[in-house]
Structure 1
Amino acid sequence: MKYLFYFLLISLVSVSLVACGAEEETGTSASAGENNQEDEIREETTEPEEVVEEEGDIEVDKNLLSVEITMPATMFEEEDVESSIAEAEAEGITVTPNDDGSYTYKMSKGTHADMMEEMKTSMTQSIENLKTSGEYPSIVDVVANGSFSEFKVVVNREEFENSFDGFAVLGVVFGALYYQLFDGVNPDDYKVIINYEDAATGEQFDSVVYPDALEELE
């Protein structure tokens, strides 16, 4: 399940890099260095600075000039790496391979901001699709907070529990987790809460926390 999660994230990365055009060039190439953490997503400037290394899946430093995002090797196991790199570089993003198999994507702050805006738009469209497409009849409404860390999903309970509409909600969950990754959320706060409410009674009948729920399936 962990590898599936990584695969979905890197697939989303490729889509967003193509979608949000880069009006600014990154200018300098990414600095080479040792990366002792496989699961690290880090942002840093081109200015010299002390990087604090911590145990955990993700480390993010937001600074002034450029943004570096390091993808762990596990995210590329099922991916066409050369194609992904070519798409990124076509958008003015510098990609540097690391000794541990990970890749560091370096971009301007403006390009990163464009990518975040594109992801926000994509999330909003996905939420609207759940409510209005007609493909998920048991789902009545979906409301998210500004950071996409908590959702209220209003459903016709019996119909929902006897359908596969929950898989559609899971798609939004992956998008929300991905959004938080690249917005620099602290690893300890990295989660998405889905609160399910019965449309008939207004009662909250279930609450699921991700990625905890995914880890329990391993």
Structure 2
Amino acid sequence: MKKVAMGMLIVTLLLAGCSSSDSSGKADAKKEEKEEKVVKKGLLNVEVTLPAEFLEDQDVDQMIKDAKEDGVKEVKKNDDGSITYVMSKAEHKKMMKDMQKSLKETLEDTKNDEAFQSIEDIKVNNDFSRFTVVVTDKESYENSFDAFASITVGMTGMMYHLFDGKDADKIKVTVAVEDKAGELIKEAVYPDALDDLQKDLEAETDSETTEQ
């Protein structure tokens, strides 16, 4: 479940960051043309590599095709199963700006989703490393499936930092759940929380198998 969800978020965030067009004037066009010439010399390239573990069960060839169609300069599949996106610094800066917008829209949609009835607000700090999910009360939150929203928030934050060039092994995104009074209900740090969730699911599956 973890790997599939990650793959879906990778595609969603990448396309959100690359799909919007920018209508610039002649001055900007000349600037971009100049940057393109420098990029070909390898002076302004930005490389983003998605680890193979994030891509299992995904159609990698389709991801590469979609990325190229959406304007990514180069996408290559590495021998270890990872994918590397190569783009100019200008393209990367624009992509990250678009991803910030997309991430905030995702938080807003999650907050307003009727499926998550206990969630009243979702706050995020400036560098997208800490999210605070504000819920009605502890009982309403724990007696619902609203925890899945927290998982989505954590993984979305991880994907943002991955595309921002952070080392996958060093990414830490904190998701805190608080009630309206500001009392902490629980706090999880991703990706460690995903590993814990995976272990819990495996333990539950083993338990069900044993009972049968």
Q: TM-score, normalised by structure 1?
A: 0.71
Give unpaired runs (5+ residues) of structure 2: 23-31, 200-212
**Equivalent residues in 2 for 1:57-136 (5 A)?**
65-90=44-69, 91-136=71-116
Q: Aligned to 1:77, what secondary structure does the other structure show? A: coil
Distance 2:95 2:113 in 1: 25
Distance 1:191 1:164 in 2: 24
Question: Letter of the aligned partner of 1:87 in structure 2?
Answer: D
Question: Letter of the aligned partner of 1:175 in structure 2?
Answer: T
Contact in 1 for aligned 2:172/2:191 (Cα 8 Å): yes
Q: Aligned to 2:65, what secondary structure does the other structure show? A: helix
Distance 1:14 1:167 in 2: 19
Shift of 1:27: 5.9
Q: Aligned to 2:194, what secondary structure does the other structure show? A: helix
Contact in 1 for aligned 2:72/2:85 (Cα 8 Å): no
State the match for 2:42 in structure 1. Answer: 46
Distance 1:206 1:92 in 2: 39
Rg larger for: 2
Q: Aligned to 2:187, what secondary structure does the other structure show? A: strand
Distance 2:81 2:175 in 1: 34
Q: Aligned to 2:182, what secondary structure does the other structure show? A: coil
For the structure 1 residues 205 and 14, does the alpha-carbon distance in structure 2 shift closer, same or farther, using more than 3 Å as the test? closer
- Deviations, residues 30-57 of structure 1 (Å, cap 9, x unaligned): 9xxxxxxxxxxxxxx924xxxxxxxxxx
Shift of 1:112: 1.3
State the match for 1:55 in structure 2. Answer: none
Shift of 1:139: 1.0
Shift of 1:189: 4.8
Question: Letter of the aligned partner of 2:106 in structure 1?
Answer: S
Question: Letter of the aligned partner of 2:85 in structure 1?
Answer: Y
> Which of the two has greater helix per residue?
2
Give unpaired runs (5+ residues) of structure 1: 31-44, 48-64
Q: Tell me if 1:141 matches 2:138.
A: no
Shift of 1:102: 2.5
Question: Letter of the aligned partner of 1:46 in structure 2?
Answer: G
- Deviations, residues 91-126 of structure 1 (Å, cap 9, x unaligned): 142122323333321111122122212221121112
Q: Tell me if 1:153 matches 2:133.
A: yes
- Deviations, residues 167-202 of structure 1 (Å, cap 9, x unaligned): 012111110111111223355652121222222x43
Q: Aligned to 2:42, what secondary structure does the other structure show? A: coil
State the match for 2:15 in structure 1. Answer: 18
Q: Aligned to 1:216, what secondary structure does the other structure show? A: helix
Q: TM-score, normalised by structure 2?
A: 0.73
Aligned-pair identity (%) = 40
Shift of 1:165: 0.8
Q: Aligned to 1:68, what secondary structure does the other structure show? A: strand
For the structure 1 residues 170 and 70, does the alpha-carbon distance in structure 2 shift closer, same or farther, using more than 3 Å as the test? same
Distance 2:185 2:52 in 1: 39
- Deviations, residues 2-39 of structure 1 (Å, cap 9, x unaligned): xx4344333333333433247769969x9xxxxxxxxx
Count residues with an aligned counterpart. Answer: 183
Distance 1:185 1:102 in 2: 15
Question: Letter of the aligned partner of 1:102 in structure 2?
Answer: S
Contact in 2 for aligned 1:16/1:115 (Cα 8 Å): no
Q: 1:5 aligns with which of 2, 6, 17?
A: 2
Q: Which has the higher contact order (CA 8 A, sep 6+)?
A: 1
